[in-house]
Structure 1
């Protein structure tokens, strides 16, 4: 081990152990991190000046050394082990890794400056949710890079309506009207910020015309009761830790129609086992609900907590299946994988939200009042429940009226 960096590797080992990494993984990561540090010492490269290029150079050397030792090339994914160990060490030592690529281009520097200021404003002044900031920042970076690349000067000062039109022409192909409306709203926000901060003289935001959408024009995707039963049955057969976790998530989705954020932020303290109640913080409205803990949901949660959940200090219920063990950031891929395994292929979107749509429809068909449905789903108003009415159109057949025809006289 490099004496110069021995303490750093020890700290790295302790950090990985605290994050509940498998001991074999800890050993491999630390060993490769130490090899990399020795590589830096031999070449007199300071750790603080390491770049992604130097990491790539080392990994190529590691592959050559593997080939020389074993007389063959390593397995396809072998290089991911030393790469992960090195990246983990660099994140610990440098706090920010990978670093932003250095640039002397005036346009790129301006793009970073504007976007960094915009992101700070969205977070600290407007207090938006992380997902909203991410969406706004993606559009901001994309537009800024696009505009400055086609502009002769490193400035937004000459921005005009023609530029906005050209941007939409470039973005429009392949997008639906709803997606184009989202683009327009995000672009308006950025243009208002550019005007407010003096980067453009004229406020172009009012000139961004979004497609006209009619209320409730889109029909949400949904699942039938048979499809939901098939997904639950398929997931229940997987008794691995990941299977127990996914089955509990599917029970919450199908029983209560919860949003993704409401599931991923669900904490151990939110379950009142004695009162058989579930405390839900609605991620979209900020409201709170107390729902009855249904028996299938409770059983699936107990099974996961006892036999599937990793040992961790995190208070969230649903945890990543691999270290570092912290709460799941999303459940889209897990839900989609379970539907595919069950052979369920709904038309339209196939994410977790279709379980929410299905729950709303089942309540509508059970003649539950819209106000109660809204309370269960965490809607701020009964108007938010209206789009789900279109998914129950087949029920209209039950109240069809005969159209009186002209009486024929003999």
Structure 2
């Protein structure tokens, strides 16, 4: 192996050790990275010029070599080990992986330029949160690729209502009415921007047809107080690092009804132990709330920090239990697992948000003003809190008026 490749492997090993990967994983990653380097060195392809397609081809080659050596196919998750080691190597060699897409034609150049400007506008002019920008950008890239590849770089100025209808017909199959409505709203945003920047002759956004969703249509799932208690009790029996982390997360969900992103972005400095308060950065509005640190929440977080959280430089309270020890990406699988283990079966969706709905309903039933509920949940207006009213069905039944003449009918 050339000296430069040896240095790259040494740098990879040092990076993995710094990220606290286990010695076994570090050895495996370096071994597969070394084989990857040898493969391309024999073909005189510099590692700095390796493409995604070539990596995919190499992984197929690695699977074939595994079959040749062992006389059988590898396990279903085997490919993730060499792939992870190779990706870590390429991040060091190329500075970024996967690489930024490169324009191969005039349509790509135009699409990349529009998307870059559109993303800047969404972030700086509209001030949207990252999840909203991500969703809008995905739809924008998808639509522009569809339109430009189909009709060419000059087609935006000549775009018609028929083009919009064809795109919506392409996106609509196998989607719920709510999902189709979301697609329409994201497409409208892009079309307004295209007209604003004079890339389309007319504003086509009013012509995007979406399903009509009625106010308070569909009642979301919630957990009753006894079900929440059962989930917390079951989770408390797991004293492993994962169990301690999940218990603290569940306490935050049950006590404050926080969004998943608000928990994932919670930092150690957001907890003021002396003042017994917790600072919440609301992911949608970017506003901050200071809430009292309730005893069960504080105790669960403190136990996790002392006995469950791995040593890491990350400032987020909740981190992965496996290297690299960075912030959590999702909470859904952990929450779903704890609800399932408790034997609780909500009628609808079973993720972190049902705790949020449950907290809102509990406060409604305690006659807490709607404005106070909205402030705690981080809503900008009472209109955002209003949908939670439909969950308090028992309370609505309690105050329902008798239908005139019902005694006669009965």
Given the two structures, how large is their TM-score scaled by the length of structure 2?
0.89
Does the CA contact (< 8 Å) of 1:2 and 1:37 recur in 2?
no
Equivalent residues of 1:19, 1:323 under 8 A apart: yes
Look up the match of 2:237.
Answer: 237
Matched with 1:357 is: 357
Residue in 1 aligned with 2:374? 374
Query: How far apart are residue 91 of structure 1 and its match?
Result: 1.4
The 8 Å contact of residues 361 and 388 in structure 1, kept in 2 or not, is answered as yes
Mean CA deviation greater in 117-126 or 311-320 = 117-126
Unaligned runs of 5+ residues in structure 2 are none
Counterpart in the other structure of 2:188: 188
Cα distance 1:283–1:166, how it changes in 2: closer, same or farther (>3 A)? Answer: same
Whether contact under 8 Å (2:13, 2:26) holds in the other structure is: yes
Distance, in Å, in 2 between the alignment partners of 1:221 and 1:250 is 17
Match of 1:15 in 2: 15
Shift of 1:124: 4.1
5 Å matches for 1:136-215?
136-151=136-151, 155-215=155-215
Question: For the structure 1 residues 56 and 207, does the alpha-carbon distance in structure 2 shift closer, same or farther, using more than 3 Å as the test?
Answer: closer
Distance in 1 between residues matched to 2:153 and 2:269, nearest whole Å: 56
For structure 1, the residue ranges without an aligned partner over 5 or more in a row are none
Inter-partner Cα distance in structure 1 for 2:358 and 2:407: 44
1:103: Cα distance to partner? 6.6
Q: What residue number does 1:40 align with? A: 40
For 1:44-59, what aligned pairs fall within 5 Å after superposition?
Answer: 44-59=44-59
Q: Residue by residue, what CA displacement relative to the aligned partner does 1:280-327 show, whole Å, maximum 9, x if unpaired?
A: 222222332222222221221122111211111111100012221111
How is 1:5-404 mapped onto 2 (pairs within 5 angstroms)?
5-70=5-70, 72-99=72-99, 104-151=104-151, 155-400=155-400
Gap change, CA 1:311 and 1:163, over 3 Å in 2 = same
C-alpha displacement of 1:357:
0.6
C-alpha distance 288-406 of structure 1, shift in aligned 2 (>3 A)? closer
**Secondary structure in structure 2 of the residue aligned to 1:119:** helix
Equivalent position SS for 1:96: coil
| Cα distance in 2, alignment partners of residues 374 and 101 from structure 1 | 42
Using a 3 Å threshold, how does the CA distance of structure 1 residues 61 and 188 change in structure 2: closer, same or farther? closer
**Shift of residue 220, structure 1, vs aligned partner:** 2.8
Displacement, 1:62? 3.6
Length, aligned pairs only: 408
Residues 1:154 and 1:13: Cα distance change in structure 2 (over 3 Å): farther
Give me the whole-angstrom Cα distance separating, in 1, the residues matched to 2:77 and 2:353: 34
Distance 2:171 2:101 in 1: 26
Deviation of the 1:157 alpha carbon: 2.4
**Which range moved further: 146-155 or 84-93?**
146-155
2:129 and 2:285 in contact (8 A); partners too:
no
Superposed CA RMSD in Å reads 2.7
Question: Structure 1 29/204 Cα, relative in aligned 2: closer, same or farther at 3 Å?
Answer: same
> Any idea what the Cα deviations from partners look like across 1:70-112, whole Å, max 9, x if unmatched?
5555444333222211111101211232335667454445434
SS of residue paired to 2:392: helix
